């Protein structure tokens, strides 16, 4: 962690890169798709995002959290073969213990060859990066930071039967990802982010569970989002990164999936890679030239449905489906 207590792991290298590059690198030029994109309804994905934010902030212990969990289980039960809750106790940096729930769904559970798709579904209880200090103790809607990835995965799940992939797919929605230490608070030693992914990776929902690899989505709904290759992902699962970015390029999304290094980000994939016998990559909007590394609404009261772009949801969703379709 840097001196800022947040889920980004900044390193001196990033600062040096910024100093050495006074202007932003040019994005990969847009190119024509060389393959037919799979079906993915951006309006449906957007509606899934909005349904979550309509409950309000999905913070641990809130009524919105309980209601949204049931909504997600119901939807995944409709689209997948199985869907259930993995209950666990989440002990947060402030000494509190919360009842938390990872939500897990499986398509074609009988198939031994599997891929994991993941996102976190909780929202941050503190708008600690809001420009107005009066908002720092308020919970955020988390439309982008949380709900966008879940919305994409719900639409992916809805399309799986039509896609009929050769492999099985597991969707894991992590809870208690975003209850990390509030900005400016000195937390006791410990791993306080990604509590749901830490629990799942050490207590799989199925004995001897194994997957080929995993793909995590985080903040995939921003307008004009750019997805650079996150450094832990490249370190731990470079072939998976190369595969996903190549499929995105084939779909004509080379101007969104940038074939350049991104930041070093402590996200749910970090803990999966630490504890699980397989590796997971992170598709996350990253901007090393912004003050936080993300778009301006990150951990603010403005992370709401008005700042979600349907087209970005579609770019990510079609890329995931194309990756899955081509697994044999």
CA–CA gap between residue 152 and residue 131 (Å, rounded): 29
- Of 219, 90, 220, 112, nearest in space to 170 by CA: 112
Residues 26 and 192: their CA atoms lie apart, in Å, by 36
CA nearest neighbour of 56 among 6, 102, 124: 124
Inform me whether the pLDDT recorded for 20 exceeds 50. Answer: no
Q: Is the pLDDT of residue 324 over 90?
A: yes
Calpha distance 57→142 (Å, rounded): 7
Q: What is the mean pLDDT of residues 119-146?
A: 98
167-214 pLDDT, tens digit per residue, is 999 999 999 999 999 999 999 999 999 999 999 999 999 999 999 999
Q: How confident is the model at residue 30 (pLDDT cuts 50, 70, 90)?
A: low
Taking the C-alpha atoms of residue 241 and residue 284, their distance in angstroms, rounded to an integer, is 12
Look up residue 9 and give its two tokens. Answer: 């792991």
Q: What is the pLDDT of residues 218-237, one digit of tens each?
A: 999 999 999 999 999 999 99
Distance of CA 76 to the CA centre of its chain: 17
What's the pLDDT score for residue 29? 55
The full 3-state SS of 30-87, as one line of letters, equals CCCCCCCCCCCCHHHHHHHHHHHHHCCCCCCCCHHHHHHHHHHHHHHHHHCCEEEEEE
Q: Which residue has the tokens 């290298």?
A: 13
Residue 23 has pLDDT above 70, yes or no: no
Q: Sign (positive/negative) of CA torsion 119, 120, 121, 125?
A: negative
Which tens digits make up the pLDDT trace of 234-284?
A: 999 999 999 999 999 999 999 999 999 998 999 999 999 999 999 999 999
DSSP 265: B
Spell out the domain ranges in the chain.
Answer: 39-325
Read off the tokens for 234: 């490249």
Query: How sure is the predictor about 10, in pLDDT bands with cuts at 50, 70 and 90?
Result: very low
Averaged pLDDT of the chain: 91
Q: Where are the beta strands (DSSP E) in 243-313?
A: 257-261, 280-284
| Phi-psi category of residue 185: left, alpha or beta, with phi > 0 → left and psi -120 to 50 → alpha | beta
Question: Which CATH architecture fits 39-325?
Answer: 3-Layer(aba) Sandwich (3.40)
What is d(CA 260, CA 197) in angstroms, rounded to the nearest whole number?
27
């Amino acid at each position: 962690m840097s001196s800022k207590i947040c889920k980004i792991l900044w390193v001196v290298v990033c600062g040096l890169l910024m100093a050495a590059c006074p202007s932003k690198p040019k994005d990969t030029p847009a190119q024509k798709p060389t393959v037919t994109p799979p079906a993915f309804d951006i309006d449906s994905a957007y509606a899934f995002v909005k349904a979550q934010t309509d409950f309000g902030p999905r913070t641990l212990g809130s009524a919105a959290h309980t209601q949204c969990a049931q909504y997600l289980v119901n939807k995944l039960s409709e689209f997948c073969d199985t869907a259930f809750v993995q209950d666990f106790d989440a002990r947060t940096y402030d000494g509190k213990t919360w009842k938390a729930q990872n939500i897990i769904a499986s398509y074609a559970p009988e198939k031994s060859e599997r891929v994991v798709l993941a996102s976190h579904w909780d929202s941050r209880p503190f708008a600690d990066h809001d420009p107005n200090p009066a908002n720092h103790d308020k919970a955020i809607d988390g439309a982008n930071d949380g709900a966008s990835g879940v919305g994409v995965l719900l639409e992916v799940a809805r399309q799986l039967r039509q896609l009929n992939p050769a492999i099985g797919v597991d969707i894991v929605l992590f809870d208690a990802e975003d209850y990390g230490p509030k900005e400016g608070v000195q937390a006791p030693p410990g791993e306080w982010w990604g509590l749901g992914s830490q629990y799942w990776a050490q207590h799989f929902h199925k004995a001897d569970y194994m997957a080929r690899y995993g793909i995590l989505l985080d903040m995939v709904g921003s307008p004009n989002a750019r997805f650079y290759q996150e450094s832990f992902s490249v370190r731990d699962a470079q072939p998976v990164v190369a595969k996903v970015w190549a499929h995105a390029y084939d779909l004509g999304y080379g101007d969104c999936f940038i074939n350049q290094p991104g930041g070093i980000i402590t996200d749910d994939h970090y803990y999966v890679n630490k504890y699980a016998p397989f590796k997971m990559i992170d598709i996350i909007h990253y901007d090393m030239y912004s003050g936080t590394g993300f778009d301006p609404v990150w951990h603010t009261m403005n992370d709401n449905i008005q700042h979600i772009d349907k087209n970005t949801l579609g770019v990510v969703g079609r890329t995931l489906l194309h990756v899955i379709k081509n697994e044999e």
